[in-house]
A and B are shown apart, each in its own frame.
Chain A
Amino acid sequence: QQQVKQSPQSLIVQKGGISIINCAYENTAFDYFPWYQQFPGKGPALLIAIRPDVSEKKEGRFTISFNKSAKQFSLHIMDSQPGDSATYFCAASYNFNKFYFGSGTKLNVKP
């Protein structure tokens, strides 16, 4: 059973547009929700993360929105750029760093 469900599987956005990726979870024990960015041939790298005591976190063009009651969180990429084209993974963790990853979203930003 997949602990974190991610959608969409792929996303095409025009340069300058907003990219939105959604994740949902069931386990209320999760206490840390990171987003990872992965370029082809590379390992995932932490992009931004949030804890459940806040509803939003912004770092530059990247924002996480967190809805604790709905058990959902999302990544918004403002002013999307071709260099943002990558696969994005949401994740959730608890209990000594056991991480559960979403299935990934392949983002393609068209110039």
Chain B
Amino acid sequence: DTAVSQTPKYLVTQMGNDKSIKCEQNLGHDTMYWYKQDSKKFLKIMFSYNNKELIINETVPNRFSPKSPDKAHLNLHINSLELGDSAVYFCASSQGGRSDTQYFGPGTRLTVL
């Protein structure tokens, strides 16, 4: 059973489009995250939710909007896609509390043409 799953695995789209990436975890964790990994492999946190509540919102354009319908799901919606949004997006989850282990999903490779 996959602990943290993401769909789709690959996403190719045109500039200006709106797209969503879905994430689900079956670990019973309270906290979920979105990370962006750029072409140089640099991994940067974008958002963090704890029990459906936003707790970390880094300096991310407001074209990016996370949505957590329940604590097992954290989706990422991106409006008006730009070339610079091309990256691999990782969802992760952790039990919560201080400095806990994060479990990452397999990633979604987004290519904006």
Contacts and interface: CB of A to CB of B under 8 A. Distances in A.
Do chains A and B stick together as partners? Answer: yes
A96 B98 contact: yes
A43 B105 contact: yes
Contact of B99 (A42, A89, A97): A97
Contact of A94 (B96, B97, B99): B99
A105 to B, nearest CB: 9
Scoring A43, A51, A106 by chain B CB atoms within 10 A of each residue's CB, the highest score goes to A43
Scoring A31, A42, A97 by chain B CB atoms within 10 A of each residue's CB, the highest score goes to A97
Interface string B80-113: 0000000000101010111111111111000000
What size tier do the contact residues of chain A reach? 20 to 34
Contacts of B75: none
A101 B41 CA distance: 10
Contacts, number: 64
B41 A99 contact: no
B102 A46 contact: yes
A106 to B, nearest CB: 8
23 contacts: A31-B99, A32-B98, A36-B104, A42-B106, A43-B104, A43-B106, A44-B104, A46-B101, A46-B103, A87-B41, A89-B43, A96-B50, A96-B55, A96-B56, A97-B48, A97-B96, A97-B99, A97-B100, A98-B48, A99-B45, A101-B42, A104-B41, A104-B42
Interface of B: 4, 31, 33, 40-45, 48, 50, 55-56, 90, 92, 94, 96-107
Given A44-B90, A103-B42, 9 more contacts: A36-B104, A49-B101, A51-B99, A96-B50, A97-B31, A97-B98, A97-B99, A97-B102, A104-B42
The 6 closest A-B pairs by CB, nearest first: A32-B99, A43-B104, A101-B43, A104-B41, A44-B104, A93-B99
